[in-house]
Amino acid sequence: MSCSKKEPDNLYPQDTPKTSYDTVPTDSFSAGATSVDIIRQIKMSSQKYRDSVKEALKAQQQEEKLKAELEKENKKVQDEEKKKTEKEKKPETPDAAETKKQ
């Protein structure tokens, strides 16, 4: 309803889409209603699903932490190896180099 005196053109035009499903609400006591037991199972399964998702996230976070620690350890080892190779490549003092040649 509106305050204008003018009649609406067409509230339900012919080209509006028609629903292909039942729009009548289902009463909880009717034949097609979901039983209380099934609803309880759905809620329980959804809780299990949420718990499993949380566990998966925790496992993923732990895995990422372990990878980060492993990368740090690998980097330390590589740095130590690099330092060792640099020390070996450094030319020794001239006196020590001459004694090695002889």
State the chain's maximal CA–CA distance in angstroms. 119
Higher pLDDT, 78 or 99: 78
What's the token pair of residue 42?
A: 């759905």
pLDDT tens-digit profile of 40-49?
888 778 888 8
For residue 3, the one-letter residue type is C
Percent of the chain scored above 90 by pLDDT?
25
pLDDT over 60 (residue 23): yes
Out of 10-14, 53-57, 95-99, pick the least confident.
95-99
Q: How confident is the model at residue 61 (pLDDT cuts 50, 70, 90)?
A: very high
Distance, in Å, from the CA atom of 49 to the CA atom of 56, rounded to the nearest integer, reads 10
Q: In the chain, what is the straight-line distance between the N-terminal and C-terminal CA atoms, in Å?
A: 113
What pLDDT, on a 0 to 100 scale, did the predictor assign at position 40?
Answer: 80
